[in-house]
Each structure stands twice: as C-alpha cells, then as structure tokens.
Amino acid sequence: MIDLKFNQVSKKYNIRANGDSPKRWYGRGFPGRKKPGQMWALRNVSFQVNEGEALGIVGHNGAGKTTILKILSGITTPTAGEITIRGRLVALVEVSSGFHPELTGVENVYLHGAMLGMRRSEIRQKLDSIIEFSGVGRYIEVPVKRYSSGMFVRLGFAIAAHLDPDILLLDEVLAVGDAAFQAKCLERIAELRKDGRTMVFISHDLAAVYRLCDRALLLSHGSILSDGPPRQVIDEYQQMTFADQGMSANEESDTAIPARCTSISFSAPESPEGIRTGHPLVARLAYKASKNIPDAVFRVSIYWPSGYLCAQLTTESLSGGLQLEHGTGIVEFQCPTLPVVPGLYRVDLAIESKGLEIDVRQRCATLRVEPGKIAYGDFLIENTWKITETLPPPHL
Amino acid sequence: MAHPTTWETSTGLARTPARPVKVIHPPAFSIGTISIGLRTLVQYSDLLYTLSLFRLSVRYKQSALGWTWAALQPLALMGIYTIIFTRITTVRTGGVPYPVFVFSALLPWIFFSSTISSAVNGLVLHPNLLTKMYFPREIIPLSYMVASLADFCIASTILGGLMVYYQVPLTWHLLYAIPIVVILVGFAAAIALFFSAVQVRFRDVGLAMPFLLQVWMFTVPVVYSLQSVPQRFRSLYLLDPVAGLIEGFRLVVIHGAAPDFRTMALSGAVTIVSLPLAYAFFKSSESTMADLI
C-alpha cells in the first residue's frame, strides 16, 4: 500500500521585502524597478512512500526539504500538483512552538495536544504518561515561561510521542534534550517503526538518516537528484558537497609557507575491490618543504559525514616530532586493519611544527570505505569467539 | 521464514481498518471549501474549546482585578455616557433611566467590537503557530469571539442588577434576545473572519480598525435610540445588521416589547449571506497565510 504520494508537486514563493504589497493595485511601481522575485522551492517533485517504509530526505539548506514537510503537514499548499496522504499524519516539527508562555505545563499539554488533533478525553487519559515521559515532574503546574529550554522541548516531544500516527514526519527533532532524553526519543521512534508505521525523516545528520531509514531522497534546488538506498544517496550527496574542494586551496601563498601537503592517496594492498572495512589501508601523504622544519608532525584527519572527527593518522609521538629536511617527500601510513564502517569520509591534512599549524588543508579529499568484514555501529571491533562452559539441559 | 514486509502490512491493517485518505490540491476560492472546512473544524472542536478557555484564563492572569474587568469596562462607559447624555445634552430613551438604556446597548456592542478588534490581530500575533503547525486557522479568530461572548455573559448579570435597581420590569419578550444574540454572533464571526484574513496580507486593516470601530459605534443606536434617527434615513440606517440587532436587543430586554420582525429578517438575511462568503474567503486565503505572514 502507498501511504504518501507526491505527483508533480511544485511550490513557488514570491520573495518580497515586506510581504505582499498592495502596489499592484495602483500600478507597477516606479519604472526600472525590479519585479518581485520568484523562487521555486519545489519543481515537479514526484515520489511515493510505501506503508511501513522510512524515507530520509537529505539536501543542502534551501533544497526544499522543509517545504515538503510544510506541504505534508498542511501548513502551506502546493502551487501545482497533487499529494495523497493515507492515514493520520503527525509532524514533529519544532515540537513546542504551540506553547503559550503564561499557561502551566498541564494547560499547555491540553492546548498543544488539541493543536495536534488530539481529543480532550484522549489527552486526559494519557496525561500521566506524558508528564512522566517529559521528566518535568512537579514543575508541570508552573507556567512554562519559567521552564528551562530543555524542559520546554522535552514536554513538547512528550506530547508528540503520545500521538498515534500512521505517518510520522520528523525534522531534526532528535537534536533536542540531553543524551538520556535523546535515547528515549530514539527508542520511541524505533518502537513506532517496529509497529510498521510509515516515517519521513528530514535531517542534516547523515548518520541518523543512514541508521533510521530504508530509503533516501537527495534534493537539490527543488528537484530530486537521486532516490535509492540511504548509503548510495548519502554518498552522492557528499560527493556533491565535496566536489568543489580540492588540493589547490593554498597554492598561491606558496612562498610564505615553509612546508605544505601536496597530495594524499589511499590504497588497499591485496584488495582489488578497493578500501574495505577490516582490511589493510595505506595512506600516502606527499609534502614539500622549502626549508628545514624542526619538530614536525603530520596529521591525516578522517571525519564522519556529520562533521565529527572519526579518527586520525598521525606521526605525533610522546618523544617529539620529526626533523624534516628541505625538499619533497612522502609519508606513508600503514594500517593493518581499517576499523571504520563503510561510508564516505571527509579528509583534512595538516603539518605542524613545534605545536603550531603551518599548513592545513580542509576537506581536501575523501575516503570511500566499501563493505568488508561485517560491522555494525560505528567501528569494527576485532575479536575472536568461541562457546565455553556449556552445560547439559537440567533434569526436571 | 515470513517476509517482514508482509507481517508489517498485516498488523498495520489490523490497527486501522479504514484509514482516512487526504488529497492536497493547490488552493482555489470555491464554496465547496466550506463543507470540507466545517468537517475539519468539527474534528478540531476540542481545540476551539481549549483555546477559548485559555484565552480567558490568560487574559486575567497576573491582573489584580481578574474577572471584574469584564464588567468594569461597560460600567465605566455607562458612567461617562450617562453624564454626557443627561447633564450636557439629552436623548429620548422612551421613559427608561439612561444608565439602563445605554448599558443594554453597550453589552452587545462591546461584544461585537471586542470580537473584531481582538480577532483581527489574532492571526498576526501568532506567526509561530501559523508557520510551524497546522490546525484550522479560523479557530484563532473564533476563540477570541468565544472569549468576548463569555465577557458578554458576565456583564449580562450586571444588566440584570441594574434592571432590578431601576425597577425595569421583565417580560417574556426577553426570550427574543436569544435569536438576536445568535444572529449577532454570526455576523461578528463573518466580519472577524474576513478582516483577520485580510490583515495577514495588509496590516492596514489592524491599523484602521480602532478608528473604524469608533465611527461604527456612533452609526448604531448605542448612546441614542433609533427614534432619534430621522424617518427617511431609517431603512438605509438599518441595512447595517448591527444597528438593527442592537436596537432589537434593547427593545426586548428593557422595553419589554417584541422586536421589529422586518428588521430582524433583514439582519438575519445579511448574516446568512455574508457568513458563508467570509468563511469561503478565509479558507481560500488560509493556505497561503504561512507564506505571507
């Protein structure tokens, strides 16, 4: 069964400084003045989501992700096209935006719940559970203007988590609350997924899209560029993002820099299929030094798609750095097993001398890791296993 | 081994045998939007109730006098007009003491004007709600109207007290007040819906409204009676449903007479035509409110 269907949907926004102007009532304005701009946030977008499927939507800011969400939740309507929604749809977008600051927590639960389409009887029935989930405790009788921002958002999510949606829309909501609360939210989402609810997830957190979704869409400038398995779509998105960066970043200020990185290459010895999880990796970093560099350190930083540092290959050691001679050379890093899971990683290069950076190349390369040894989560933990201490079944 | 997709589908169907199917189209002005709109409004009726309730509680939160304010405003106006229209100049009241005479008309007028002035700004005061969440937008202006109606009920008890004090007799004609108030509510809703939708686009409405309401008050029989209006202007004067309804309200409550049925029919007809039109207009502009606000 198809739960969601976008059929040739387009959305146009008029961009004007002060909203809609009555000028068109009495004339075209002054001659030579530009006509109000138009922006197509979505252009002929068609896709469908099957029942029980989790679809992730990725893309740069302004690609049209939020517009899709707004159209789906009914906040705005398309300029052209048709959308079919089968079932109760709930959007978890800025979960506490309906709160009234003067009202207490309980009053806001009733108000916000009603805005999300819940009946008063339904809210009354779930009230205790909502309060418990939010962890707001005795502050529930206090006006929410006295709440901390964390409490505010937690209460909002708690209400939304008690809805019973057929289709769930999520927009970066996982970035709320502390670690414990986030775990609770993920648990609730996993529960809904297990129950076969359909989900549309919009996020910049590519790792989360990879973890939560069965399928992903890549949007760019209001059109769908790619539609397929999350890994493939995320790779494509990252390639699009990194395409405009390269090694030429600092080329001009050559003379001012005593040493620089000139290239990086990754290779996999003994593996024709490329670099794979759990297999050896060799990284070769070429450099050029215009004078002798004392106490030098090379770094190859490998970043997650989300932008966090995943791991680093470095020549740094407790006994101090290298004495780098004037000239060119190659630093070769040998890794017997590459422990990171498959994906496309971003690579930064750096040379330091006496703890100060002399050359930094940000996002200058990518590292593509193909599936190799079976690994779940973030890293492969090398291990051996055996079954020990077996006992015969007990006699009853 | 069972295919996981099959399993998920079967539990999904067991949970909700018939799911509602919603189709979203580009917006268009049509009378057909009224029935769809009303159906959605019924689904969200609990929100209208909750929002109106909290509208009232928020209004009087952190105020020392609280609910007394609902009665204070008409009482203060009554005092001022009584001084002006009994000491400085006089108007014909048909033998009724002026305070009761003016208070009985101030009640419906304050209901009408406070509904319009608060509802018109209602939508633009909540840009966050409009751009982040969906619910039928008419609930916002309508909730202000319900709150004004509650104030009307509170102030009505004061009117009862005044009538006892000035020994104005009650008659069965008082019951006519119910249909009169119903028509007035309908007309206030039409005006509130129309102007609040326009206000999202053109803020001029909100700026002009206080002035417009002030002028409007003197074009309806609040401080004077319909008898003071020259006969040849009356039919034109009564084209405004508010004028007819306020005069009718005063007639049935303090004069103990039956209302003029021709005037009531005219006011009712204007309301029956304008309310669906205003609602259809509101629903058709609703879809772009989030983009324009």
Range of the domain at B60: 49-292
Q: Alpha-carbon distance A133 to A192, whole Å? A: 16
Compute how many other C-beta atoms are within 10 angstroms of the C-beta atom of residue B121: 20
Same domain, A84 and A210: yes
Question: Residue B142: which pLDDT band, with cuts at 50, 70 and 90?
Answer: very high
Mean pLDDT, residues B2-6 taken together = 35
In a domain? residue A396: no
Interface predicted TM-score (ipTM): 0.79
Contact criterion met (CB < 8 Å) for B23 and A82: yes
Q: Alpha-carbon distance B216 to B133, whole Å? A: 35
Question: Residue B17: which pLDDT band, with cuts at 50, 70 and 90?
Answer: low
Contact criterion met (CB < 8 Å) for B43 and A117: yes
Chain B contacts of A118, Cβ < 8 Å? 46
Number of domains present in the structure of chain A: 2
- How high is the pLDDT of residue B265? 93
| HEC string for chain B | CCCHHHHHHHHHHHHCCCCCEEEECCCCCCCHHHHHHHHHHHHCHHHHHHHHHHHHHHHCCCCCCHHHHHHHHHHHHHHHHHHHHHHHCCCCCCCCCHHHHHHHHHHHHHHHHHHHHHHHHHHHHCHHHHHHCCCCCCHHHHHHHHHHHHHHHHHHHHHHHHHHHCCCCCCHHHHHHHHHHHHHHHHHHHHHHHHHHHHHHCCHHHHHHHHHHHHHHHCCCCCCCHHHCCHHHHHHHCCCHHHHHHHHHHHHHHCCCCCCHHHHHHHHHHHHHHHHHHHHHHHHHHHHHHHHC
Same domain, A92 and A231: yes
pLDDT tens-digit readout, B78-93: 999 999 988 888 888 8
Contact criterion met (CB < 8 Å) for A98 and B129: yes
For chain B, what percent of residues have pLDDT higher than 90?
A: 43
Q: Which two tokens stand for residue B157?
A: 């008890």
Chain B touched by A103 (CB under 8 Å): yes
Chain B touched by A390 (CB under 8 Å): no
Q: Which two tokens stand for residue B64?
A: 């020392």
Q: Which two tokens stand for residue B217?
A: 């008050």
Q: Which two tokens stand for residue B176?
A: 């006519």
Q: Are B177 and B253 in contact (CB under 8 A)?
A: yes
Q: Alpha-carbon distance A215 to A201, whole Å? A: 10
Range of the domain at A353: 256-369
Which residues, 6 or more positions from A342, have their beta carbon under 8 angstroms from its beta carbon?
Answer: A231, A276, A277, A369, A370, A371, A372, A375
Q: Which two tokens stand for residue A333?
A: 């890093």
Chain B contacts of A76, Cβ < 8 Å? 287-288, 290-291
Element (H, E) at A209: helix A206-212
In a domain? residue A383: no
Q: Alpha-carbon distance A195 to A51, whole Å? A: 11
- pLDDT in tens for each of the 396 residues of chain A? 888 899 999 998 877 655 444 444 444 444 444 556 778 889 999 999 999 899 999 988 888 888 898 888 888 889 889 999 998 888 877 677 778 888 889 998 998 888 888 889 999 999 999 999 888 888 888 888 888 888 888 888 888 888 888 888 887 656 666 777 778 877 888 888 888 889 998 887 777 788 788 899 999 988 999 999 988 888 888 777 766 555 554 554 556 678 888 888 899 887 777 899 989 999 999 998 888 888 899 999 999 877 789 999 999 888 878 888 888 899 999 999 999 988 888 899 999 988 888 888 888 888 888 888 888 888 899 889 998 888 888 876
Same domain, A270 and A210: no
Question: Residue B14: which pLDDT band, with cuts at 50, 70 and 90?
Answer: very low
In a domain? residue A286: yes
Q: Which residue type is seen at A307? A: G
Same domain, A226 and A268: no
In a domain? residue B225: yes
- How high is the pLDDT of residue A36? 60
Contact criterion met (CB < 8 Å) for B9 and A1: yes
The interface residues of chain A toward chain B in range 216-245, judged by CB-CB distance below 8 A, are: none
Facing residues of A55 across strands? A200, A215
Q: Alpha-carbon distance B11 to B19, whole Å? A: 13
Number of domains present in the structure of chain B: 1
Same domain, A158 and A270: no
- The nearest CA of chain B is from the CA of A267 a distance in Å of 39
- How high is the pLDDT of residue B7? 34
Q: Which two tokens stand for residue A340?
A: 């990171």
In a domain? residue A381: no
For chain B, what percent of residues have pLDDT higher than 70?
A: 94
Chain B contacts of A107, Cβ < 8 Å? 54, 57
Contact criterion met (CB < 8 Å) for B21 and A86: yes
Mutation for testing the A interface, residue in B15, B43, B45, B46 having most A CBs under 10 Å: B46
- End-to-end Cα distance, chain B: 54
Bridge pairing between strands A198-202 and A167-171: parallel
Question: Residue B102: which pLDDT band, with cuts at 50, 70 and 90?
Answer: very high
Bridge pairing between strands A198-202 and A356-369: unpaired
Same domain, A7 and A107: yes
Facing residues of A278 across strands? none
In a domain? residue A25: no
pLDDT tens-digit readout, A118-165: 889 999 999 999 999 888 888 888 888 888 888 888 888 888 888 888
In a domain? residue A100: yes
Q: Encode A322-338: b = buried (16+ Cβ within 10 Å), e = exposed.
A: bebeeeeeebebebeeb
Q: Considering only CA atoms, which of A164, A159, A170, A214 is closest in space to residue B15?
A: A164
- How high is the pLDDT of residue A254? 56
Q: Alpha-carbon distance B132 to A156, whole Å? A: 13
Name the least confident of A230-239, B6-15, B94-103. B6-15
pLDDT tens-digit readout, B149-187: 999 998 999 999 999 998 888 888 889 999 999 999 999
Same domain, A263 and A128: no
Task: Give the up-direction half-sphere exposure of residue B28: CA atoms within 13 A in the CB hemisphere.
Answer: 7
Q: Which two tokens stand for residue A104?
A: 């207490």
CA–CA distances in Å: residue A91 to residues A200, A203, A206, B101: 9, 14, 20, 53
Question: Residue B10: which pLDDT band, with cuts at 50, 70 and 90?
Answer: very low
Question: Residue B244: which pLDDT band, with cuts at 50, 70 and 90?
Answer: very high
Which residues, 6 or more positions from A317, have their beta carbon under 8 angstroms from its beta carbon?
Answer: none
Cα dihedral A131, A137, A140, A146 sign: negative
In a domain? residue A193: yes
Q: Alpha-carbon distance A218 to A233, whole Å? A: 6
In a domain? residue B128: yes
Q: Alpha-carbon distance B89 to B6, whole Å? A: 85
Contact criterion met (CB < 8 Å) for B54 and A75: no
Q: Considering only CA atoms, which of B46, B103, B44 is closest in space to residue B72?
A: B103
Angle separating helix axes B139-165 and B177-201, nearest 10 degrees = 140
Same domain, A159 and A270: no
Q: Which residue type is seen at B132? A: K
Instruction: Give, as one character, the DSSP assignment of residue A235.
Output: H
pLDDT tens-digit readout, B201-227: 888 888 999 999 999 999 999 989 888
Same domain, A206 and A276: no
Nearest by CB to residue B24, choosing from A20, A82, A117, is A82
Q: Alpha-carbon distance A385 to A374, whole Å? A: 14
Q: Which two tokens stand for residue B281?
A: 């207009």
Same domain, A226 and A139: yes
Instruction: Give, as one character, the DSSP assignment of residue A370.
Output: B
Chain B touched by A49 (CB under 8 Å): no
Q: Alpha-carbon distance A232 to A218, whole Å? A: 10
CA–CA distances in Å: residue A38 to residues A11, A34, A41, A42: 10, 11, 9, 12
- How high is the pLDDT of residue B11? 38
Q: Considering only CA atoms, which of A355, A40, A393 is closest in space to residue A221?
A: A40
* Strands of A327-335's sheet in order across: A259-267, A281-289, A327-335
Instruction: Give, as one character, the DSSP assignment of residue A272.
Output: T
Which residues, 6 or more positions from A15, have their beta carbon under 8 angstroms from its beta carbon?
Answer: A36, A37, A38, A39
pLDDT tens-digit readout, B257-285: 888 889 999 999 999 999 999 999 998 88
In a domain? residue B160: yes
Q: What is the pTM of this model?
A: 0.76
- How high is the pLDDT of residue B8? 34
Nearest by CB to residue B51, choosing from A14, A111, A195, is A111
Q: Considering only CA atoms, which of A259, A262, A266 is closest in space to residue A332?
A: A266
Mean pLDDT, residues B114-129 taken together = 89
Instruction: Give, as one character, the DSSP assignment of residue A174.
Output: G
In a domain? residue A24: no
Q: Alpha-carbon distance A161 to A166, whole Å? A: 13
What CATH number is given to the structural domain containing A289? 2.70.50.60
Q: How high does pLDDT run on average in chain B? A: 86
Element (H, E) at A259: strand A259-267
